[in-house]
């Protein structure tokens, strides 16, 4: 049962870690690359 609890905690932590980095990347992309006129 403790194993399952660890999986829950680590799994959610992993999702937040990966998506947190993705969030940072998206904010950076939006700042660095502005839409061009043809967009």
Contacting positions for another protein (CB under 8 A): 1, 3-8, 10-12, 14-19, 21-23, 25-27, 29-30, 33-36, 39
Calculate the dihedral angle through the C-alpha atoms of 28, 32, 38, 39, rounding to the nearest 10 degrees: 10
Q: CB of residue 7 vs another protein: minimum separation in angstroms? A: 5
Q: CB of residue 38 vs another protein: minimum separation in angstroms? A: 8
Q: CB of residue 28 vs another protein: minimum separation in angstroms? A: 10
d(CA 14, CA 20): 10
């Amino acid at each position: 049962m403790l194993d399952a609890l660890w999986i829950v905690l680590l799994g959610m932590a992993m999702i937040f870690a990966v998506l947190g980095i993705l969030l940072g990347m998206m904010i950076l992309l939006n700042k660095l690359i502005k839409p061009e006129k043809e967009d």
